[in-house]
Every structure is written in C-alpha cells, then in structure tokens.
Structure 1
Amino acid sequence: MTQVIRAYVGSLLGFLLLDALWLGFIAKDNYTQAMEGLMRDKVHIWPWIVFYTLYCMAMVYLVIRPQFNAEKASGVFIGGGVLGAAAYGAYNMTNYALLADWPLGISLQDWVWGAVVTSLSSYCGWRLARR
C-alpha cells in the first residue's frame, strides 16, 4: 500500500509542477489568444481538483502499478504516453467536434502536451514508488 501511495504522490506532484509550468508560462499566451472569447472571467478551481485527483489515480492504476517490478522505465513512459494521448485526445477532439469556436491548433497542441505530461508524471510516480 505504501508503494501505491508513493506512486500517487509522485505522479500528482510531477503533474502539478509540469502543468503549472506549461499553463502558467510556456503555453499561457497561446491558450489565452486562441480561446479569448471562451474563457471565464473567474476561473473555477474545483474542476481542476477533481481532474488532477482522478487522473493521477488512473495513472497509478493503469500505468505505474503494472510496472512496479519493471527494471526499466520504458513501459512507464509508453503507458503514460498512451493514456495521455487517449484522455487528452478524447477531450480535445470532442470539444473540436462539438464547439463552434474551439480552435484546432490548441486542440492539437494540448493533445501532444497531454501525452507528454502524462508520460513524465507517470515516470515521477514510478520513481518515487521504487524508493
């Protein structure tokens, strides 16, 4: 059980740090410009809390836990990338299909980011679980 908790904490911390850098600095202007008319004046925080909590649980269950005894991290990176591509792809392509002003460029950028951040966060959780 301790290994699962460490995996969760590691993936959550990795995800929060990487996503904060991405959304707060690296891609902030791209998102702001592309979604200018779609953004709220006041951001709702609770959906982020729910997403980060559940998504990191999914990372642990689907990606990290099956790799607890693996000697190499390649399965974690690949599994995280697949989970991220599936989850972020579903979100972005659904939004693009249904919402009139949803920008395709941001969808593609966010889709790739989802695969990368999930892969790296899964690795963070896996590394901490193996300590």
Structure 2
Amino acid sequence: MIKPQQRYLLAYGVMLLTFAILDGVWLGVVAKNLYAYSLSGLLRSDLIVWPWIIFYLGYCGAILYLAVIPSRRYRLTAFVRGAVLGAAAYGAYNLTCYSIIADWPIPITLIDWMWGTTATALVSISGAMTFRYTDK
C-alpha cells in the first residue's frame, strides 16, 4: 500500500512529466513557428533553462495544492479547478505582457492564455487520476 506522502510525491512527479510533455509538444512543435514569427524581436538566441525549471516546479506545486488535492477523487472537479487556475495564471502573465511590452501581439496573448488554461486543466487531471488509481 502506498503511504499518503508517497501519493503526493507520485502525483507531483506525474504532473511534472505531463506538463513537460504537453509544453514540449506545444512549444517545440505545434506553436513553435507561431511564437518564433510573432515574437521574433523579443526572443533570445540562447535559451536560459533555469527559469523554466523554477516555473514548472512551483506551478505544479500550486496546481497540486490548489486544484488536485481539494478534488483528488473527482477528475471533472480537478479539471475545472485546474482550468480556473490556468486561466488566472496565464491570463495574468499574458495580459501583463500585452500591457507593458511594446508590440506584444494580441493573438499571442489569447492563444497562450487558452493554451495555459487547457494545459493546467490536463495536468490537474493527471494528478487527480494518480491519486485515484493509487487509492487501493
């Protein structure tokens, strides 16, 4: 039988992996050209990785605490809580970028906001499913 602390760590690990895969496919394949074209004057030529790592670690912890743990037995509730959290977090980021960065494109604001909402909801489901299937 899995101890409660192990379930939290397992759910967190599954969520990190899920987010890394989702964002990797989104940023590296699906929307790569869109971001490159729309933000060409703003992107670095050399990627700095440590801010991404800090973001993923902290954000997945927030998703676990705010969306997954309160609704860990109900996938739909976890999905909705994750979507609300994603809409708030990515909305704050994208609207702030749009308001303070010259030439920040409104389509990127809306697309990234929708992506963050969706990704956070899916990551929340992965955490809730981990709890559900380890509750034996």
Normalising by the smaller structure, the TM-score range is: over 0.9
User: 5+ unaligned residues in a row in structure 2: which ranges?
Assistant: none
What percent of counterpart residues are identical?
A: 45
Deviation at 1:101, TM superposition (A): 1.6
Structure 2: distance between partners of 1:2 and 1:67: 18
Amino acid across the alignment from 1:77: F
Structure 1 position 64, deviation (Å): 0.5
Runs of 4+ in 1 over 3 A off after TM superposition: none
CA contact (8 A) 1:84 1:118 kept: yes
- The letter for the 2-side match of 1:49 is I
Q: Which has the higher contact order (CA 8 A, sep 6+)?
A: 1
- Show the 5 A alignment for 1:47-58: 47-58=51-62
TM superposition score normalised by structure 1:
0.95
The answer to whether residue 108 in structure 2 is matched with residue 106 in structure 1 is yes
- In 1, Cα distance between equivalents of 2:127 and 2:15: 4
Q: How does 1:2-17 map to 2 (within 5 A)?
A: 2-17=6-21
Which residue number in structure 2 is paired with residue 97 of structure 1? 99
Equivalent AA in structure 2 for residue 110 of structure 1: D
Alpha-carbon separation, structure 1, partners of 2:81 and 2:31: 24
Q: Distance in 1 between matches of 2:31 and 2:131?
A: 30
Distance 2:44 2:111 in 1: 21
Does the Cα contact within 8 Å between 1:10 and 1:126 map onto a contact in 2? no
Kindly report which structure 2 residues correspond to 1:1-131, keeping only aligned pairs within 5 A, or say none.
1-68=5-72, 70=73, 72-130=74-132, 131=134
Q: Which amino acid aligns with 1:97?
A: S
Cα distance in 1 between the residues matched to 2:50 and 2:118: 24
Separation in 1, partners of 2:119, 2:18: 8
TM-score w.r.t. the length of structure 2 is 0.92
Gaps of 5+ in 1: none
